[in-house]
Structure 1
Amino acid sequence: MHWLDVVLISFAVLALLGVIFEEVTHINKAKVTLFFGTLSWLLLFISSGSSTETEAVSRGLAESISEIAGLWLFLVAAMTFVAYLNKKGMIENLIYLIMPKRIKENHLLLLTGLFCFIFSSLADNITATLVSCALILSLHLDRKKQIRFITLVVFAVNSGGVALITGDVTTLMIFLADKVEILTLLALSVPAACGVFLLALLLSRGMQGEVELVHDRNEVRGVDIAIAGLFLLTIVSTIVCNVLFQVPPVLMFLFGLSVMFLISRFYSHDSDLDPILEYIRTIEFETLLFFLGILLIVGMLKEIQALGSFVAIYEVLPPLVANYLMGMFSAIIDNVPLTAALLKAGIEMSPGEWLGLTYAVGVGGSLLVIGSAAGIVAMSKIPGLTFASYLRYSLWLLVAYTVGYAGVYVLGLFI
C-alpha cells in the first residue's frame, strides 16, 4: 500500500473517531469531518505525479462536489420550510389539534409514536425530536415513564424518516443514487409503521394512568397556513413529477422555496419586520457542513479505491443478512458515512435489497441512544436519559427493528 493511501485512510479513521467521540472531545463533528475531508483532497492534488493523475483527481472531486451540491440544495429548501413553520408555532398547533385534553397514558404513547412517525417523514429528525421532547416534558410524567416515551420517540422518528426523501438523509442519498424509486419508498412506510406500533405496545405495558394536556395554541396567520399548504403541495408535487416526468426532487423543492418567498412578499404585511429570507439562516448549517465533510472523505476513499472492505461482507453473506448487520452497525457508526461508503463501493443488489438497506441504516441507529441524531438530541433535553437507561429497552428495540426489517424483506419480494 502506498504511503499516501495509509495517510488518507488514517485521516478517514480520525474523522470517524471524531464523530463517535464528539461528546468526549467537545469538538463539533462538522469541524472535524470538514477539516479531514478538505485536507485529504489537498494531499491528493499535491501528491499527483503527472498531469494525467491531476486530471483524474479533478474529475473525482468534481463528481463529489456535484453530488454534494444536489444534496445540499435539497436540504436547504426543505429545512427552510420546516424552520419557518416551527418558528410560527404551526407544528405545536398541529399537536394540540390532534391531541385530546385528557387521555390514558398508553393511548398517548401510541399517539405520540404515530405523530413522530408521520411528522418525521415531512421534517428533519432533529426538529421532530425537539418538538416531541417539549411535549413529553409538558406532561410531567415520572422519570421511568418519560424514558419509555422518549425511547419510542427516537425509534418512531427514525422509522418515519425512511419512507420519504424529506425525512432522512440516507434515504435521500440512496434515492439520488438511483437505487430505489420514490413510490417504492412510500411502500416502505407500512413495515416501518408496524415496527413502531409493536414497540409502542411493548413499552405501554403497565401504563394505566391518565394525563392532562395543557393546550396553548399560537396565533396563526393566513400566510402561515398558505406556506404550510405549499410545503405539503411541494412534497406531493415532487413525488408526482418525479414519477411522471423524472423531475429531480431538488428542482421541485427549489421551485417550492421560490414560491414560498413570493407568497411571503405579496401575502404578508410585515415583510420588513419578519423577512422570509432570514429563515435560511436559522437552519442547521452545522448538519450541512457535516454532510459536506463526510461526503468529501468518502469521495476520497473511492478515489484511492479503499472501499473494498465494505464490499467484502456482501461477498461472504447474502445481502439480506449483510443489510441487517449494517443497520446494527449504524448504531455505532454514523449512518451517513456508512451509507455513502456503501453507495461508493459499487455493491450490486436488487431494488428490494436496496430497500432493505434503506430501512436498516435509517432505523438501526435507534438501537443505541448515541446511534442517531434523534437520540443525541433527546439526551440533551430529557433529564435522566442516559446510555444505560436507554439500553434497558434494547431488547424491545431490537425486536421492533427485526420485525420491521422482516416486513421490508416481504415487501421486497413483490418489487
Structure 2
Amino acid sequence: MFKVILSLFLCTVAAFASSSGQGEIPDLTMTWIGFASLLIFVVGYYFVAAEEKYEIDKAKPALFIGTFIFILIALYYAINGLNMNLVHIQAEHLILEIAEIFFFLFVAMTYIESLIHMGVFDRLKYNLVSKGYTYRKLFWVTGFIAFFLSPIADNLTTALILSTVLITIDKEKKEFLVPGAINIVVAANAGGAWSPFGDITTLMAWTAGKGVFTDFLYLFPAAILGYLVTAFILARFVPDVKPDFDVSKEEKPEMSAGAKVVMALGVFTIFCAVMSHQVLHLPAMWGMMFGLSLLKVYAYGLKKKHGKEHFNIFNNIAKIENNTLLFFFGILAAVGGLYFIGWLALASHVYDPSVLGPTWSNIGVGFLSAIVDNVPVMSAVLKANPEMGLDQWMLVTLTAGVGGSLISFGSAAGVGVMGKLHGIYTFGSHMKFAWTVFIGYVVSILVWYIQYEVLQISHF
C-alpha cells in the first residue's frame, strides 16, 4: 500500500541495487569512518531519546547526525581516492526515497490540519464524549479504531488521526493522554502487521515473495492478542471517570461547509496512493500529491463560494509538524549512511544456526527495530535472504512490525504521535509503560509459536 514510511529504507536497498554496475561498495565497518559514524549515531540517538531532559527538539540531533555521517563518508572516499561516484549514487537514491516519504507525510498532515480547521475532530470529540464515555472507555474505543483502521490506512496515518482525537478530548490530563497515546501506537503497529498493506515491513516481505496475500492474514491472532494484553494492562492506569463535559451546557460543534467533501477527498487520496503504488508502479506519494491537488482545487471553489477566510489551505500547511518531517529526514539519512558503510549487513550473520538461528534472530529483530527502525532492519534481512520457511518469514514480519512499539521513536506511528502530543508523549513517558508493551510482544510471539510450530496452522 502506500505506507507512510513507504520506503523508509527501501532507499538503501534501491541504492545498493542501482550501484551494482558502478563498482564494488567497500566494507568500511572496521575503519575510522565506520566507528566514527556508529559513535555519532549512538550519541545522536541519545539526545533524541533524552529530548525531554535537555529540552531539545528531536529533529535537531536527528538532522545533524543524518547529514554529518554522509559528509564524513564522502570525505573518507575523497581522502582515500575511492570511487566518488558511489557516494553520489547512494546520496541521490537516498534523497529520492526520503522525498517520497517526506511528501507522503506532508500531504497526510495537510489533510489532518484541514480537517481540524473545519471542525471535524471537534465534532468527533463531541460525539464520543457526549455519549457519556469515561476516559477508560474512550481509551478502548480509540485503540480498537486504530487496530482495524491501520491495515487499510497504514499505521502512521492512523496514529496521526487518532492522536489528534485524543488531544481534542483533553489537552492536559496526562494520566489519560500518555496511556492513550501508547495504546494507539501499539494498536496501529499491531494492526498493520497482519495486512500486506498495513506496514512497510509487511509490504516488503509480500513483494519479495516471502508469502502470498492470505499468508499474512494468519498473523491476525498473534497481532490482536498481543495488543489486547498490552491494552488491558494499560487501561488499569487510565481514570475510570468521565471527562469534564456537560452536554446540556456544551453547544454541539458544527463542521464547516465542505468538511464532508474534504473527508471524502482524503479517502480518495488514500485510494490514489494505493493505486499509484500497486497498479501504476509509481511512488505512493504521487497519488498523495494528486490528492493534494484535488484539495487545492476544491479549496478554490470554497473560496469563491464562502470567501477566502473560510478555508485557506496554505494556512493549514503552515500548521503541520515540520519537526516530525525533519526528524524523518535525519534518521533515514543516518541509517542509510550506516547501511552504506556496512553495519546493518553484519546482522545477517546471526541467522546462522551456529550463532542464534532464525527463531531467536527474528525475535531479536523486534528489539533492533525499536532502536534503529523496522524498515532498515527488514531491508537488511531481505537482502541477506537467510534460508527460512514461511513460518519464520511470518515471524520476522510480526516482530519487525510490532517491535517498533517498544520505544516511542521505534516506528513511524510513534514518531508521528510524539509530534502531535509534543511534551506529553515523549521517550520518557513511554518508557514508564514500556514493560506493558514488552508483555504484549512476548504474548504475540507465544501465539505465533503455538499456531505455526505446534498446531502448524499457517496457510489455506
Q: Residues 44 and 412 (structure 1 numbering): CA distance in 2 closer, same or farther, change over 3 Å?
A: farther
Choose which of 151, 156, 159 in structure 1 pairs with 2:187: 156
Is residue 102–residue 210 contact of structure 1 (8 Å, CA) maintained in 2? Answer: no
CA distance in 2, matches of 1:25, 1:292: 21
Q: How does 1:291-370 map to 2 (within 5 A)?
A: 291-315=328-352, 316-331=355-370, 333-335=371-373, 339-344=375-380, 346-348=383-385, 356-367=395-406
Q: Residues 322 and 92 (structure 1 numbering): CA distance in 2 closer, same or farther, change over 3 Å?
A: farther
Residue 132 in structure 1 maps to residue 162 in structure 2: no
Question: CA offset at residue 245 of structure 1?
Answer: 3.9
Q: Deviations over 1:302-338 (max 9, x none)?
A: 332232332233333444432322223444x252xx5
Is residue 11–residue 40 contact of structure 1 (8 Å, CA) maintained in 2? Answer: yes
In the other structure, the counterpart of 1:262 is: 297
Q: Deviations over 1:310-368 (max 9, x none)?
A: 2233333444432322223444x252xx5325425723167875554444234224345
Task: Give the TM-score normalised by the residue count of structure 1.
Answer: 0.77
Is residue 5–residue 304 contact of structure 1 (8 Å, CA) maintained in 2? Answer: yes
Q: Give the unaligned 5+ runs of structure 1.
A: none
In the other structure, the counterpart of 1:284 is: 321
In the other structure, the counterpart of 2:111 is: 81
CA distance in 2, matches of 1:326, 1:357: 7
Task: Give the TM-score normalised by the residue count of structure 2.
Answer: 0.71
CA distance in 2, matches of 1:391, 1:116: 19
Is residue 369–residue 377 contact of structure 2 (8 Å, CA) maintained in 1? Answer: no
Choose which of 34, 37, 60 in structure 2 pairs with 1:5: 34
Secondary structure of the 1:66 match is: helix
Q: Deviations over 1:63-95 (max 9, x none)?
A: 211211111122212221122113323134235
CA distance in 1, matches of 2:135, 2:101: 40
CA distance in 2, matches of 1:366, 1:173: 18
Q: How well do the aligned residues superpose, as a CA RMSD in angstroms?
A: 4.4
Q: Residues 193 and 84 (structure 1 numbering): CA distance in 2 closer, same or farther, change over 3 Å?
A: farther
Q: Deviations over 1:269-301 (max 9, x none)?
A: 346223212322222221221121122222222
Q: Give the unaligned 5+ runs of structure 2.
A: 1-29
Q: Residues 289 and 112 (structure 1 numbering): CA distance in 2 closer, same or farther, change over 3 Å?
A: closer
In the other structure, the counterpart of 1:46 is: 75
Is residue 195–residue 403 contact of structure 1 (8 Å, CA) maintained in 2? Answer: no
CA distance in 1, matches of 2:316, 2:206: 26
Choose which of 58, 72, 88 in structure 2 pairs with 1:58: 88
Q: Deviations over 1:179-205 (max 9, x none)?
A: 789967984883434433454456668
CA distance in 1, matches of 2:212, 2:186: 22
Q: Residues 257 and 130 (structure 1 numbering): CA distance in 2 closer, same or farther, change over 3 Å?
A: closer
Is residue 164–residue 171 contact of structure 1 (8 Å, CA) maintained in 2? Answer: no
Please tell me the residue identity of whatever aligns with 1:33: A
Identity of aligned residues (%): 24
In the other structure, the counterpart of 2:226 is: 195
Number of aligned pairs?
A: 407
Q: Residues 190 and 91 (structure 1 numbering): CA distance in 2 closer, same or farther, change over 3 Å?
A: farther
Is residue 93–residue 218 contact of structure 1 (8 Å, CA) maintained in 2? Answer: yes
Is residue 147–residue 390 contact of structure 1 (8 Å, CA) maintained in 2? Answer: no
CA distance in 2, matches of 1:219, 1:227: 15
In the other structure, the counterpart of 2:17 is: none
Is residue 116–residue 132 contact of structure 1 (8 Å, CA) maintained in 2? Answer: no
Please tell me the residue identity of whatever aligns with 2:56: I
Choose which of 445, 451, 457 in structure 2 pairs with 1:402: 445
Q: Residues 21 and 357 (structure 1 numbering): CA distance in 2 closer, same or farther, change over 3 Å?
A: farther
Question: CA offset at residue 166 of structure 1?
Answer: 9.0
CA distance in 2, matches of 1:184, 1:74: 27
